A and B are shown apart, each in its own frame.
Chain A
Amino acid sequence: MSGKAPLRIIVCLKHAVDESELRVDASGHPILQGAQARMSAFDRNAVEEGVSIKEKAGGTVTALSLGTEDVRKSIKEALAMGCDRAILVNSSKYLDALATSYYLARAVQRAAPYDLMICSEGASDTYDGLVGPMLAQWLDLPFMGYVRRTELRGDGSLQCELAMEESVEVVEARFPSVISVVSEINSPRYPTLLQIMQASKKPIEEFPLDSLAPGPGEAAAPEAAVRVLDTTAQSMSRKKILFEGSPEESASKLLEALKSEGVL
């Protein structure tokens, strides 16, 4: 695209179990039955970045997600935040990151043309952080990960600051490209109540999973390569030491204990 043409942005989002509400049973397994789900917290940053770029540069933002009918709740939230279009890839099958990114890539190709795809650094439930880079691979596009700041260049490229572990890297790539953003990139907006009501009237396009399957002569779609066999909560043992006495006495006992533990 030219530097001045309106941008066509696609934001990928996941409807994930709300980990803040998740409980575990006596054996440490999460109780998924009846657990509340909502848009993955980091994906709200991705939506915010897409909508902010659109507000600065003009264009459209399409929210894209994959899953069951329940996913509509998160898609509507993205529409309320300012996305213009929405696509739901209907699937009730278990798909891992490889298969998910494959079908999302097929959906993106169907929704083409596009300039920029935005994912988050990882989903708040599984936190694999794989769909963004895999999506770029399927589409054979440049990928910039862990983006903490974006800047549109006039020459049809995007410059990004990447939050590395101990450094900040500045990179740029021409459109079309794929980025994954970290949560420090922005503060997601709260849609107004009117925007929420208006979002409920915006249509959501549906792409059934089967309709995205490879045609004759195309390579077969990947099966789920990784299966989750078990998930248990980590248990943390606490020493539960109580220091008695005056505040001064307790403070010195605490200091001594911390020293003996090697903390100080």
Chain B
Amino acid sequence: MKLLRAEHKRLLKALYGAEGEDYGRVLEAISLLLETSVLPHSKEFDEAAGGIAPGRRALFDQGICRLAFPSAEGTSLPFGVYAMAMELVASADAPTAMSIGIHNTVAEGVFRFGNDDQRKRVFTDLVEGRRLGAFALTEPSSGSDARAMKTTAVKNGSNYTLDGSKMFITNAGDADIYLVFAASAKGHSAFIVDKSTPGLSVGKDIPKLGMRGSRTAEVRFSDCSVPAGNLVGKEGEAFEYVKFLLSGSRIVMGSICVGIALTAYRKALEYSKQRSLFNGELSELQMTREKIADMRTELSSSRLLCAYASRLKDAGVDFSSEAAQAKVAATESAVRVCDRAIQLFGGYGYTDPDVHRHWRDARLLTIGEGASEVLRMLIAGKELAETR
């Protein structure tokens, strides 16, 4: 299955004109790698609940993380190209995309809010994919209400001591670097914590409905001492960092959902042309055509919202509401598209993991990286504030 399609190239041309062709070549190379090294194994990742590391390594070696950051030579790509790359990765395998997306959020945290030493010491390794990152924000008793975090960071001379627990951490166990958020004397603060730091421990892998190829676990901190040099940005200001980082990440998660839905849609579309019933094809029935049209329309509109939020991010203006809208629209529509795909496959859709895994993968993302309810609070809050 070819992942980069004419629809992607048309959008690149519409958004970026002549430069869209160069971006198309970048995405073509990613697609080629995905088609040979990731896509053929995606079903196994779901069945065996793991196994994405080699494909992730190949994508890191190819330079996928670099897409989101300016190069040493100053070359930088629009964020929308990175988002489309993540859509393609998710089309091949959603948990691989999820893992890379979270890793890059950690890299962006260090790049944007870290100091020169941290950028040199940590960001370089993250962006080259030499070390894997995990974003440690959610806790067992606080997800959407992240401010209520109970993990503490107490300053002891030239160190901070972390105590507490972080829950549902993507890449936990595989990660080399944890970007940990904790309550300190001045407010919420962020720390770079190396996996080998005494006092850091990772729980068992948590079984999941979907996204089973990537690892998810609890990460605990017990009398875990990190050097003050690992404090990212200013003490007490990390919640502002979280808001910025999650806004960018929401565009990526929306794009991942477009990719998931696109694969489910293509499978259903092909099946509708092969399945015979009532002396014809499934695709000839009016109700099937309604589903095909609705799936296609939802996919395209979600992708455009992600592209719009990406352009706003590149323009340096507030994009938090549009990113939230993109994520709400893309994740919820992906669940609907994948559900319709199951419906078109009928009994085979309900029983074949290679069909229903897309619904299971998409289902995570109306919850993770900002639940739909919280994002609606954000969108409505901004709307009301602007009209007062």
Contacts and interface: CB of A to CB of B under 8 A. Distances in A.
Interface of A: 21, 73, 76-77, 80, 190-194, 196-200
B220 to A, nearest CB: 37
Nearest to B58: A190
Interface string B25-67: 1100110110000000000000000000000000001111011
Contact of A193 (B2, B21, B26): B26
Given A193-B62, A194-B66, A73 B75 contact: no
B274 interface: no
18 contacts: A73-B21, A76-B25, A80-B29, A190-B33, A190-B62, A191-B29, A192-B62, A193-B30, A193-B63, A193-B67, A194-B63, A194-B66, A194-B71, A194-B75, A196-B26, A197-B22, A197-B71, A198-B73
Contacts of B66: 192-194
B364 interface: no
Given A193-B30, A196-B29, A197-B26, 15 more contacts: A21-B2, A73-B21, A80-B25, A80-B29, A190-B29, A190-B62, A192-B61, A193-B64, A193-B67, A194-B71, A196-B25, A197-B71, A199-B25, A200-B22, A200-B25
B11 interface: no
Interface of B: 2, 21-22, 25-26, 29-30, 32-33, 61-64, 66-67, 71, 73, 75, 77
Interface majority SS (helix, strand, loop, mixed), chain A: helix
Contacts of A198: 73, 75
B80 to A, nearest CB: 15
B245 to A, nearest CB: 22
Nearest to A38: B28
B65 to A, nearest CB: 9
- Which 4 pairs across A and B sit closest by C-beta, in order of nearness? A193-B63, A192-B63, A200-B22, A196-B26
Contacts of A80: 25, 29
A193 B25 CA distance: 9
A193 B22 contact: no
Contacts of B67: 193
Nearest to A200: B22
A241 B33 CA distance: 38
A82 to B, nearest CB: 14
B197 to A, nearest CB: 32
Contacts of A76: 25
Contacts of B29: 80, 190-191, 193, 196
Contacts of A190: 29, 32-33, 62
Residue among B21, B25, B67 with max Cβ neighbours from chain A (10 Å): B25
A190 B71 CA distance: 19
Contacts of B21: 73
A16 B242 CA distance: 48
Contacts of A199: 25
